[in-house]
Chains A and B, each alone.
Chain A
């Protein structure tokens, strides 16, 4: 009998519901004094959700989870900000104008256990758009920034050496230096994090 009921129900059913489009929205705003060539907006913790900024500073970031998130904004070569937003499903959330303050910079110095500059060193700020920052091969340094005030996890790696992570907290406009000694990787790991073709230095 229950099977008969189920059959009847299924036979008579059509249509259905889909909540997918309701689970993400768009965040829109304008960054004052933005430098379009370097400016970027991303969701903190989900750096794949990022958007470029137009020359007038406007940006539109889609696919933002319909919940409370924090945006990581790089406005220019020296300014950056973090801002919380509650994205609304299938709707546009207007942030208005954002005036980003001076960002902090961290100069990361990489060395191997012998005190030499390691090959193809890279630095990444986890959860942000500041990733794959290549080390200057001559100085063995990477200038990371601008970073909005807050705490971050720096991930430092180089070919054939063990990856190192360290949490660093910065204040607005602060300049920090950090030296990382990378030990040899017994497993010979190379996560292929560094490329040498574009030579971009986000820290500028």
Chain B
């Protein structure tokens, strides 16, 4: 056992500032997190990797076994959890942390002492590349704050069951302390929960309120509000975090520590990142508890994950794909048609082009072939966004031609006219996102000759202005898209004769029904090439007699999606 409040210094020469906040809360209730920032494609070679991970590593680990208020039942292993983790982090051959502070003694685990330790940690000079890990193992609970909102609290040694608000460590307060840390690589690990069972206890009023609540667990999960880069929880929101006598640890913590000896190095790059460690612990916790405890992870800077907890990068690792997004939770990732794991989580893959697919309940959500290179980490969320068929707006510039379908009308009434225009397509705005609405405006003119029935030709200048509205469904297969639907177009036609014996303009304005079909090909996330065809049907008066004629148009365009 490590002596309490001992700072382990493994590499004195490093300026290590580790922003890791571990709060193991047996959170009770699934949560969604609003993603901040955009997913990025990360491609690093060895030198870049080494450079990216420069910085010191620091940890503050808190384990609380006993509580002054007897209402909180004692826990067996929080202190050991913190010490076991601290030992691994401080080990130069594994964590190599510059400093590891472990708080387990009674006087070290009061609310004031913990806040003071956080402020002391914040007082260090920090580098944005430093890594900091904050780990908490103990009871969690829920209580009303001063505004009456239900909040999550960490139970400190001196927290009173009847006055959680005044004596517990509110997660918001912990957040504020974390804000003072200058590192961008912060990991908060919560080995607690707020379910009212296991490593948590709820006040009777709160418990009664929760029992009457049919909706989601009331207070928003920590991950939703956290500004830490990475929040790892021993259990999902609403579930119970458990200790286990056979393991002599919090179950999640046991496997988390286990991963740091190198077993968690999924991509074989020589280091264990925070998400690798979590995925290892998550998978084994799930198995060990037979599915009753599902550790969760939320990342606020999806994709970067430069937080290394053990080892050092020796080579570009195998390419990885991952997702910790709640919206993909429960999906199975298939690689080249073979199950590779369930989300959230990540997998390491052989280098090269891989066919990735996301499946759920036998249905395919998405599939694409992705070229993966060594050292690359791809967020599945960003891959999906590239081809997401969700509500989209596309504005496009188009060129094309419009003319009568029958040769006689083209010959005698109006030749085909080249058009240029602009179109706006609003995806999924009608019928529960099933139908798109498109509006287009095109204009053009030309100078051709009419070939009259009697045999002569007559030069004519002709102009066309078309304003159309199309409503219809669209489908997307990878980058290829199809759309179709009925259409109504207002069409203004003009032909002008400036001849020896005739100086005259003739115009015709009508509203025509028709049909449109289009095919598109996406170029990246924002740009799209489109080809559209449309058929219209109309009555056109010619020489005092009305002709029922068809009108057809072909357009090519380039669009911008926003």
Q: Which residues of A contact B (CB under 8 A)?
A: 5-6, 8-23, 25-26, 65-68, 86-92
B 491-502 binary contact with A (CB < 8 Å = 1; else 0) = 000010101111
- Whether a CB of chain A sits under 8 angstroms from the CB of B543 is yes
With A9-B538, A66-B455 given, is the CB distance from A90 to B509 under 8 Å?
Answer: no
* Contact status B541-A16, CB under 8 Å: yes
Which secondary structure characterizes the binding site on chain B?
strand
Chain A residues with CB under 8 Å of B540's CB are: 16-17
- Whether a CB of chain A sits under 8 angstroms from the CB of B413 is yes
- Whether a CB of chain A sits under 8 angstroms from the CB of B245 is no
In the complex, how many residue pairs between chain A and chain B have their CB atoms under 8 Å apart? 113
> What is the bound-complex CA distance between A6 and B539, given in angstroms?
8
- Could you pull out 25 A-B pairs where Cβ atoms are within 8 angstroms? A8-B511, A8-B513, A9-B512, A9-B513, A9-B538, A12-B490, A13-B539, A15-B509, A16-B508, A16-B541, A16-B544, A17-B413, A17-B495, A19-B450, A19-B452, A19-B453, A19-B542, A19-B543, A21-B501, A65-B454, A66-B452, A66-B455, A66-B458, A87-B456, A91-B501
* Contact status A21-B513, CB under 8 Å: no
Please give the distance in Å from A58's CB to the nearest CB on chain B.
17
A-B pairs with lowest CB-CB distance, top 4 = A66-B456, A16-B541, A12-B511, A67-B455
- Whether a CB of chain A sits under 8 angstroms from the CB of B290 is no
Chain B residues with CB under 8 Å of A6's CB are: 539
B 109-124 binary contact with A (CB < 8 Å = 1; else 0) = 0000000000000000
Kindly identify, within residues 404 to 431 of chain B, every residue whose CB is under 8 Å from any CB belonging to chain A.
412-414
- Whether a CB of chain A sits under 8 angstroms from the CB of B537 is yes
Chain B residues with CB under 8 Å of A68's CB are: 455
* Contact status A17-B543, CB under 8 Å: yes
* Extra pairs beyond A12-B509, A23-B453 (13, CB < 8 Å): A6-B539, A13-B509, A15-B541, A16-B540, A16-B544, A17-B540, A18-B544, A19-B450, A23-B454, A65-B455, A66-B452, A68-B455, A90-B497
Please give the distance in Å from B173's CB to the nearest CB on chain A.
66
> What is the bound-complex CA distance between A91 and B509, given in angstroms?
28
Count B interface residues, CB 8 Å: 36
> What is the bound-complex CA distance between A8 and B450, given in angstroms?
29
* Contact status A90-B502, CB under 8 Å: yes
Choose from B511, B538, B543 the contact partner of A20 (Cβ within 8 Å): B543
Chain B residues with CB under 8 Å of A87's CB are: 456
Please give the distance in Å from A17's CB to the nearest CB on chain B.
5
* Contact status B500-A90, CB under 8 Å: yes
With A9-B538, A13-B539, A19-B412 given, is the CB distance from A89 to B510 under 8 Å?
Answer: no
With A6-B539, A16-B542, A91-B500 given, is the CB distance from A23 to B512 under 8 Å?
Answer: no
* Contact status A17-B506, CB under 8 Å: yes
* Contact status A13-B542, CB under 8 Å: no
- Whether a CB of chain A sits under 8 angstroms from the CB of B504 is yes
Chain B residues with CB under 8 Å of A92's CB are: 500-501
> What is the bound-complex CA distance between A8 and B490, given in angstroms?
11
Closest B residue to A12 by beta carbon equals: B511
With most chain B CB atoms within 10 A of its CB, the pick from A9, A14, A17, A19 is A17
* Contact status A89-B495, CB under 8 Å: no
> What is the bound-complex CA distance between A89 and B459, given in angstroms?
9
- Whether a CB of chain A sits under 8 angstroms from the CB of B507 is yes
With A23-B454, A68-B455 given, is the CB distance from A14 to B537 under 8 Å?
Answer: no
With A19-B452, A22-B458, A23-B454 given, is the CB distance from A12 to B506 under 8 Å?
Answer: no
Chain B residues with CB under 8 Å of A14's CB are: 508-510
Please give the distance in Å from A94's CB to the nearest CB on chain B.
10
With A10-B539, A66-B458, A67-B454 given, is the CB distance from A21 to B504 under 8 Å?
Answer: yes
With A13-B539, A17-B543 given, is the CB distance from A23 to B501 under 8 Å?
Answer: no
* Contact status B510-A66, CB under 8 Å: no
> What is the bound-complex CA distance between A10 and B509, given in angstroms?
10
Please give the distance in Å from B486's CB to the nearest CB on chain A.
9
Chain A residues with CB under 8 Å of B455's CB are: 65-68
Choose from A5, A15, A89 the contact partner of B507 (Cβ within 8 Å): A15
Choose from B414, B501, B542 the contact partner of A25 (Cβ within 8 Å): B501
Chain B residues with CB under 8 Å of A17's CB are: 413-414, 495, 506, 508, 540-543
With A16-B508, A17-B508, A90-B502 given, is the CB distance from A22 to B538 under 8 Å?
Answer: no
* Contact status A89-B541, CB under 8 Å: no
Please give the distance in Å from A69's CB to the nearest CB on chain B.
10
Please give the distance in Å from A112's CB to the nearest CB on chain B.
44
> What is the bound-complex CA distance between A197 and B501, given in angstroms?
39
Chain A residues with CB under 8 Å of B458's CB are: 22, 66, 88-90
> What is the bound-complex CA distance between A23 and B543, given in angstroms?
11
* Contact status B541-A9, CB under 8 Å: no
* Contact status B506-A88, CB under 8 Å: no
With A14-B509, A17-B413, A66-B455 given, is the CB distance from A22 to B539 under 8 Å?
Answer: no
* Contact status A67-B543, CB under 8 Å: no
* Contact status B454-A90, CB under 8 Å: no
Please give the distance in Å from B484's CB to the nearest CB on chain A.
17
* Contact status B456-A86, CB under 8 Å: yes
Choose from B488, B502, B544 the contact partner of A22 (Cβ within 8 Å): B502
